[in-house]
């Protein structure tokens, strides 16, 4: 009977032990499942934030076009960061938000729509992207300009920065593809702009010297090929534009200002399903 009792006791202990181990295993599994759920929620939150950022960047670019339409230069300048750079056509680089406003008001007149003036600046083909840091963005887009002066076709490769939760333009680069008077590009394509064409003068020479239609210029793409992942870098050569004597600190600094992203920088991608 004693042996039987010990056997019965051992079976009971084994049952209790197995139950305890099962309980421990279940307890340890709960945090793992909770962590997985938390990771999924975090990934979903990042995805939503990225999509919202892409929408805000695209909206910001469209707003820029509408402010140009009606000469709302103060409103337009508020879209920029304090240290922003602006380069339109081949005129050169303007440094800082205040200079953006000065450029617009000096070159195109005081704020406000004017009778008899047409300057529609329609935005198309927007391709926004956001960096892996979640605070840097880019867009490639076109504008179709219909104005009293004629027709224009600028291409934008802009950079954006998220400051205190708000996206702003940190670099506006708008090289022209084509510009012409009302006779049209098939008859009278005009040359690109240049620094001394009209006031105000730029702070620095153009970052790139290029030709417009009927010649052509391929602005670097801020994104790689979405299928192959390969970066496409158009051939770029040195030109004779100087912010200072060759080899000087001023010249070397100029080489780093207002330059376009080339697609090799980290870009946040949606998760693969």
Banded pLDDT at 239 (limits 50, 70, 90): low
Which pLDDT value is given to residue 37? 84
Give the Cα separation of 73 and 77 in Å (integer).
6
Find, among 160, 178, 183, 180, the residue nearest to 170 by Cα. Answer: 160
- Give whole-number Cα distances, 131 to 161, 163, 194, 260, 263, in Å: 10, 14, 32, 14, 11
Q: How far is CA 77 from the centre of its chain?
A: 17
Which residue did the predictor score with more confidence, 218 or 271?
Answer: 218
Which pLDDT value is given to residue 152? 92
- Per residue in 72-113, pLDDT tens? 999 999 999 999 999 998 889 999 999 999 999 999 999 998
Looking at the DSSP bridge assignments, the partners of residue 147 are: 119, 150
SS3 65: helix
Say if residues 223 and 129 touch (Cβ distance below 8 Å): yes
Give the Cα separation of 133 and 269 in Å (integer).
12
Average pLDDT along the chain: 84
Say if residues 212 and 204 touch (Cβ distance below 8 Å): no
Give the Cα separation of 155 and 268 in Å (integer).
23
Say if residues 172 and 157 touch (Cβ distance below 8 Å): no
Which pLDDT value is given to residue 195? 77
Domains along the chain? 31-254 (3.10.450.50)
Banded pLDDT at 146 (limits 50, 70, 90): very high
Which pLDDT value is given to residue 238? 62
> Phi then psi for 267, rounded to 5 degrees?
-125, 135
- 270 pLDDT higher than 60: yes
- Per residue in 173-207, pLDDT tens? 999 999 888 888 888 888 777 777 889 999 999 98
Say if residues 123 and 155 touch (Cβ distance below 8 Å): no
- Per residue in 17-72, pLDDT tens? 444 444 444 444 445 455 688 888 888 888 889 999 999 999 999 999 999 999 99
In sequence order, what are the residues at sequence separation of 6 or more whose Cβ sits closer than 8 angstroms to the Cβ of residue 67?
A: 73, 75, 76, 79
Which pLDDT value is given to residue 268? 78
> CB 6: neighbour CB atoms within 10 A?
10
DSSP label at 263?
S
Which pLDDT value is given to residue 272? 62
User: Average pLDDT of 216-240?
Assistant: 84
CA torsion sign for 220, 206, 83, 173 is negative
DSSP label at 246?
T
Find, among 139, 148, 164, the residue nearest to 109 by Cα. Answer: 148
Looking at the DSSP bridge assignments, the partners of residue 153 are: 178
């Amino acid at each position: 009977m004693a042996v039987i009792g010990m056997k019965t006791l051992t079976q009971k202990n084994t049952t209790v032990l197995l139950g305890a181990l099962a309980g421990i295993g279940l307890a340890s599994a709960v945090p793992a499942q909770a962590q997985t759920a938390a990771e999924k929620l975090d990934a979903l939150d990042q995805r939503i934030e990225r999509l919202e950022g892409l929408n805000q960047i695209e909206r910001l670019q469209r707003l820029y076009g509408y402010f140009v339409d009606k000469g709302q230069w103060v409103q337009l300048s508020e879209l920029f960061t304090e240290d922003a750079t602006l380069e339109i056509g081949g005129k050169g680089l303007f440094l800082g938000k205040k200079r953006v406003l000065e450029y617009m008001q000096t070159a195109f007149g005081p704020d406000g729509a004017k009778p008899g003036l047409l300057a529609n600046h329609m935005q198309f083909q927007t391709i926004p992207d956001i960096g892996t840091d979640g605070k840097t963005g880019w867009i490639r887009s076109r504008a179709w300009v219909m104005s009293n002066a004629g027709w224009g076709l600028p291409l934008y490769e802009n950079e954006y920065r998220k400051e205190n939760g708000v996206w702003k333009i940190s670099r506006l680069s708008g090289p022209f593809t084509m510009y012409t008077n009302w006779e049209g590009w098939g008859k009278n394509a005009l040359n690109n702009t240049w620094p001394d064409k009209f006031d105000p003068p730029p702070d620095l020479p153009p970052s790139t010297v290029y030709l417009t239609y009927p010649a052509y210029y391929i602005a670097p793409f801020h994104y790689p090929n979405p299928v192959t992942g390969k970066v496409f870098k158009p051939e770029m050569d040195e030109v004779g534009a100087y912010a200072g004597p060759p080899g000087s600190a001023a010249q070397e600094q100029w080489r780093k200002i207002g330059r376009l992203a080339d697609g090799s920088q980290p870009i946040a991608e949606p998760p693969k399903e």
